[in-house]
Structure 1
Amino acid sequence: MNSALLSQVLLSLAFVVAVARLGGFLLKRVGQPAVVGEILAGILLGPSLLGLLAPRLAHLLLPAEVKPYLTLLAQLGLVIFMLIVGIEVELATVGRRAPTVGAVAFGAAVLPFLLGILFALVTWRWYAVQVSRVAFLLYIGVAVAVTAFPVLARILRDRGLATTPMGSLALSCAAVIDVAAWLLLAGVIALAGKTDRSPWLMLILATAFVLVMLLVVRPGLRALQRRGTFAKMSPQAVLIAVLVASVLAACFTEKIGLHTIFGPFMVGLCLPRVPSVVDMVIDRAADVSSGLLLPAFFVVAGTQVDVRALRARDLGVLAVVVVLSMSGKIFGAAGPARLTGLSLRDSLTLGVLLSTRGLTELVVLAVGAAAGLLTPTLYTILVINAVVTTLATGPLLTLIERSGARAARPVADQRPVSVTASRR
């Protein structure tokens, strides 16, 4: 890399980080997750806005020759992000509410998954790709069924629900859904593999990798924890060891035909839950990932979104997939929650919380696009769907809270109103 190109890459990275952080700040000010603003900033820096209104400025700030380097940074950001997701998912314990968690997670995963498959069946002829039809159907089902665990955790913290029974229940359900979704996505990517390796061999290798991580690596790390090995290591040594393991796991899953994200996710899932180790890895790694590397991912993803290419039929498809995504999650979770004893208000709240998608959906879509499972138009539709469903979470929660308050108010307000009326 010559000095001129290096300077351009650094300039572009600084511009990307600044715009992404600004977008996150603005959205957070209006009560939305910061990650939604960062995603929108990435989309606006692509052909949908900046490339349309100021193509010369877009070429100056984000020339084509820096895209490969931003893509590399984006992949590194995803490695760290998926490591953190794996760690945080395990922190949500099922505990004594296992029947409720199981029922709600099953409904909130299966119903949108089936609706996604139905959606894919109807739209297959419009957005056909050169992959197995079964892989395409299953992939769209996963894309519709996924829940953004990290974004959900932030929403719960922002609303003061993180330590409540509802918050812990939502996190537990999201953990179960996401583990199932990532494992199923790994199988789908294997089925859609475009390498010379047999898809069934890829599935066998992926299954073997998961089993080794869960049945060998995880117990081994816990044994080291009980012996006090981690306590003897410095925080820097632990962090380096975890990051190296994540990169090696990402390399392995890429080599066997899966995406790089699955390796670090399994590393995070297997990491022993030593509070000092977990907190240190999450805090230090998250700062680098969210502050510097993930904005590059938002821009790389945003450059593939072109709203101008959507026709009237595509807008109709977008409306349908938004409705299916929201209703599948809300009713898929609320129904089982109601049957297991939760109130109607809590059941609907749980369904709305699980309907958030955010960055996790964007990662799923990036994986699908890299595997050739999405056309550019369908990719754009599903990215907008991820943004819309995440943006809708906050207003829907507020609506449920206000409707619950109005329902409770007449009991206390009925007598004063009648007294006032009688005085008149």
Structure 2
Amino acid sequence: MNDSDVFLLAMLMIFAIPYLVWRIVRTDSYAPLVVVQIIAGILLGPGVLGAVFPGYYSLVFSPHVIAALNGIAWWAVMIFVWIAGIELDLKQVWKHRLDTSVTASLALGMPFLLGCIAAAAMLKLGVWSGVAGKSWQATFGIGMACAVTALPILVLFLDRLEILRSPFGQRVLRYASFDDVAIWGVLALILLDWNRAGRQLVFLIGYAVAAYAIRKLMARLPERDRWYVGLVWLAASGLAADWSGLHFMVGAFLAGAILDSDWFDRKQMDLFRDGVLLSIMPVFFLSTGLRTSWNMHGGAVLILAAVLLLASVVGKLLGVQLAGKILKWPRGDAYRIGWLLQTKALIMIIFVNILLDKGIIDHPTFTALLLMAVASTMLTMPMLAAKRAGSVVDAVEAG
């Protein structure tokens, strides 16, 4: 088989296998298609199916095919992060700043603290950090991975519960939006390189000037042109951020965050995001799975994943419960919000991919974090269903 045949065989597996599992097993109530795609990437990777059938893995995922897949994955995830930046509604966050700041800070801070404690303990073993990462970078990175909420998956779950556009649903989204800002801020801190401080200063100054200019330009353009110019701005911002050492994903998020969401038609934005999720993001999920490793014995990786999952879940629930008491929420709100904010998957996986790229964490730690993200996300809907006293919609109306 030539390279193009093997590439198309890989694409066939990427799209067909997760879809068939999702449809036949009917996992949508606890694992949307994107989660099934992530799990499929892990199973098709070198640590599981590749270990059992090494001939298959070396044939289908040759270096040439992996390079092609990685190129598609980079662009797919850049677009996705750019959209997430555009959809951040900072005006609403500011309008409800007391409720949002107290809740989001505790919901983020408690699992971050517990995650950092777990990371510090495991790093004492000296086998979980990356070759280029300092202890504080790995600790902060793992802690943040335990704390973050994935806004896109949360949107899918809220839509399934039919509360996405309700006041309750919008309130939960505000808390998650705060997380989105925080994770990129922490990432920029982790990646701050004093050897490249001059470049990073140039990037920040240049970004501020360019952002002002692009906002002026976008406000004058017809909507049809804004999409194309926005993608040009995305590529330029990602390139500049990567040149400075901050990683192109930081640039992608910043490229979207300075654009106003009302410059784009909401229905078109939803269709565009869904199109990206449908057509090219599955390649990113598979390429993520291909990076998993069980070299340090699968048992050790699973134990670490369980410890991090405990830190993530307990920390999030404690933080939200404390916020509920401070703000005097109606009974039951803290439980529902705490579990809804457990969704991780997409943004967290992008985050840990960057940590792995930069050598801050190693492959077994990456695998444990990936398993933790999948498990945390899959717990959300079953736990809400198990504890629900009456319908969620009724609780929303009461709140």
1 CA distance for matches of 2:46 and 2:26? 21
Equivalent position amino acid for 1:179 in 2 = V
TM-score normalized with structure 2 length = 0.88
Whole-Å separation in 1 of the counterparts to 2:68 and 2:117 = 38
2:323 paired with 1:326: no
Contact 1:27 / 1:37 at 8 angstroms: preserved in 2? no
Answer yes or no: is 1:175 the counterpart of 2:177. yes
Q: CA deviation at 1:57?
A: 3.0
- The Cα offsets for residues 194-222 of structure 1, whole Å up to 9 and x where unpaired, read as xxx715445535644665566x257535x
Within the candidate set 244, 250, 259, 2:232 is matched to 244
Shift, 1:31, TM fit = 3.8
What does residue 2 of structure 2 align with? 4
Distance (Å, rounded) in 2 between the aligned partners of 1:370 and 1:217: 32
C-alpha distance in 2 between matches for 1:169 and 1:176: 11
Residue pairs, 1:60-75, within 5 angstroms? 60-75=59-74
- CA offsets per residue over residues 112-169 of structure 1, 9 Å max, x none? 1121221121111331333222222221222111110110011000111212222111
Summarize the Cα distance change of 1:37–1:179 in structure 2 as closer, same or farther, 3 Å threshold: same
Structure 1 residue 347 displacement after superposition: 0.8
Contact 1:20 1:295 in 2 (8 A): no
| C-alpha contact (below 8 Å) 1:190/1:202 kept by paired residues | no
CA gap 1:321/1:209 in 2 versus in 1, 3 angstroms: farther
User: Normalised by the size of structure 1, how large is the TM-score?
Assistant: 0.83
| Structure 1 residue 338: Cα displacement | 2.6
Q: Do structure 1's residue 230 and structure 2's residue 226 form an aligned pair?
A: no
Partner of 1:128: 129
| Mapping 1:8-19, distance limit 5 Å | 8-19=6-17
Cα distance in 2 for residues equivalent to 1:258 and 1:302: 24
Distance in 1 between residues matched to 2:214 and 2:105, nearest whole Å:
25
What's the CA shift for 1:293? Answer: 2.0
Partner in structure 2 of residue 35 of structure 1: 34
Query: What is the DSSP-based 3-state SS (H/G/I as helix, E as strand, rest coil) of the residue aligned with 1:261?
Result: helix
Change in Cα spacing, 1:217 to 1:17, as seen in structure 2 (3 Å) is farther
The question of whether the paired residues in 2 share the 8 Å contact of 1:45 and 1:303 is answered with: yes
Mapping for residues 249-288 of structure 1, pairs under 5 Å: 249-274=237-262, 276-284=264-272, 286-287=274-275
Change in Cα spacing, 1:370 to 1:276, as seen in structure 2 (3 Å) is closer
Show the 5 A alignment for 1:368-387. Answer: 368-387=355-374
SS in 1 for 2:137: helix
Match of 1:145 in 2: 147
Q: CA distance change for structure 1 residues 395 and 92 in 2, over 3 Å: closer, same or farther?
A: farther
Residue 188 of structure 1: aligned partner: 190
**Larger deviation: 181-190 or 58-67?**
58-67
Spell out the pairing of 1:401-416 with structure 2 (5 A cutoff). 401-402=388-389
Q: Unpaired runs of 5+ in structure 2? A: none
Contact 2:104 2:175 in 1 (8 A): yes
Closer/same/farther in 2, CA of residues 129 and 273 from structure 1, 3 Å limit = closer
Could you tell me how far apart the structure 2 residues matched to 1:210 and 1:144 are?
30
Instruction: Check the 8 A contact 2:241/2:248 in 1, yes or no.
Output: yes
Residue 165 to residue 338, structure 1, CA distance change in 2 (3 Å): farther
Looking at structure 1, the residues matched to 30 and 301 of structure 2 have their Cα atoms a distance apart, in angstroms, of 29
User: Could you give the per-residue CA deviations for residues 271-309 of structure 1, whole angstroms, max 9, x where no partner exists?
Assistant: 22326445424423541x222321121111111223474
CA distance in 2, matches of 1:297, 1:20: 13
Q: Which runs of 5+ in 1 are unaligned?
A: 192-196, 409-424
1:88 aligns with 2:78: no
Matched-pair contact (CA < 8 Å) for 1:36–1:387: yes
Aligned 8 A contact 1:239 1:281 in 2: no
Task: Say if 1:84 and 1:282, in contact at 8 Å, map to a contact too.
Answer: no
Greater C-alpha radius of gyration: 1
Cα distance change, pair 316–28 in 1 and its aligned pair in 2 (3 A): closer
Determine which of 350, 370, 395 is the counterpart of 2:382. Answer: 395
Question: Which deviates more from structure 2 when the two are superposed, residues 160-169 or residues 52-61?
Answer: 52-61
Equivalent in the alignment of 1:417? none
Q: AA paired with 2:201?
A: I
Equivalent in 166, 177, 190 of residue 164 of structure 1: 166
Contact 1:109 1:332 in 2 (8 A): yes
Per the TM alignment, residue 354 of structure 1 is displaced from its structure 2 partner at its CA by: 1.0
State the shift of 1:174 in Å.
0.4
The residue type equivalent to 2:129 in the other structure is A
Contact 1:213 1:266 in 2 (8 A): no
Opposite residue 144 of structure 2, the aligned amino acid is V
What SS does structure 2 have at the residue aligned with 1:373? coil
Residues 32, 83 of structure 1: alpha-carbon distance in 2 compared, 3 angstrom cutoff:
same
Residues 355, 238 of structure 1: alpha-carbon distance in 2 compared, 3 angstrom cutoff: same
- Cα separation, partners in 2 of 1:7 and 1:213, compared to 1, 3 Å: same
What is the aligned-residue identity percentage? 25
Which sits farther off after the overlay, 329-338 or 390-399? 329-338
CA contact (8 A) 2:30 2:382 kept: no
Aligned residue pair count: 389
Q: RMSD of the TM alignment (CA)? A: 2.7
State the alpha-carbon separation in 2 of the partners of residues 213 and 114 from structure 1.
36
